[in-house]
Amino acid sequence: MSDAAACASTGVPEIEFWFDFGSNYSYLSVMRIEALAAQRGVRIRWRPFLLGPVFRGLGFDNSPFVLQKEKGAYVWKDMERQCRKYGIALKRPTTFPRAALLATRVALLGADREWMAAYCRAIMQLNFAHDRDIGSLEVVSEALGELGLPAQQIITEAQSDANKLRLREQTAAAASRGIFGAPTFFVGDEMFWGNDRLDDALDYCVSIATGA
């Protein structure tokens, strides 16, 4: 789909937001994107996926931030600066990257539901501000319960074979679109990678919609 068609199909500018709950830079974008998109009148298409299989397809058995010691040391210093800049809490997780299969299956289920943004922020904060195991049933249930949602019902649905398959397909789709890291944003076929490109992606989305 062309960039213009992505906006014209609904009459509202749209951005696809591809993210992974174990990704530290996805944390920054999850905490910021809803307010920034609302300011510009942009609709978010939430696209949770698993970065691990994408990395393995590229020949990495772990995050580059773990495999490359110097890069990893820099990244956490950078995270401290970025979190201060945005006023976002940070507690470096004792496990990184942290597996979040159940949390991601729930996010996939909720991608078009009204609680999606709040749920994603809650999961990210549990991981990167409170160092909780977001892959556990206990923590995911807690996050849903704090939002006043029926945790058991949602988790049962998220763990269905159909939803598991959807997540595998979504992750394969990420790889097929050329995604190599998270967060990644798409406006039509135009790709923007990294939290530091969030504003650029949103501005481009608006420019396409308005013809500016």
> What is the domain-level CATH number for residue 83?
3.40.30.10
- Helix, strand or coil for residue 113? coil
Sequence-ordered list of residues with C-beta below 8 angstroms from that of 168, at least 6 positions apart, any chain: none
* DSSP H or E stretch at residue 18: strand 14-19
Sequence-ordered list of residues with C-beta below 8 angstroms from that of 182, at least 6 positions apart, any chain: 18, 19, 20, 23, 25, 26, 49, 51
Q: What is the pLDDT of residue 168?
A: 98
Q: Using N-to-C axis directions, what is the helix angle for 137-146 and 151-158, rounded to 10°?
A: 130
Q: What is the pLDDT of residue 212?
A: 64
Q: Do the strands 184-187 and 14-19 form a parallel or antiparallel pair, or are they unpaired?
A: antiparallel
Q: What is the pLDDT of residue 161?
A: 98
Q: What is the pLDDT of residue 7?
A: 47
Cα–Cα distance measured from residue 40 to residue 201, given in angstroms and rounded to the nearest whole number: 11
Cα–Cα distance measured from residue 81 to residue 169, given in angstroms and rounded to the nearest whole number: 35
The structural domain count of the chain equals 1
Is 2 one of the catalytic residues?
Answer: no
| Domain residue limits at 125 | 3-210
Q: What is the pLDDT of residue 9?
A: 52
Cα–Cα distance measured from residue 22 to residue 37, given in angstroms and rounded to the nearest whole number: 23
Alpha carbon distances (Å) from 110 to 24, 38, 66, 107, 130: 21, 19, 30, 5, 23
Cα–Cα distance measured from residue 95 to residue 110, given in angstroms and rounded to the nearest whole number: 26
Active-site position among 23, 26, 29, 63:
23
Q: What is the pLDDT of residue 4?
A: 45
Q: Give pLDDT tens digits along the chain (212 positions).
A: 444 444 445 578 999 999 999 999 999 999 999 999 999 999 999 999 999 999 888 876 656 665 677 887 899 999 999 999 999 999 999 999 999 999 999 999 999 999 999 999 999 999 999 999 999 999 999 999 999 999 999 999 999 999 999 999 999 999 999 999 999 999 999 999 999 999 999 999 999 888 76
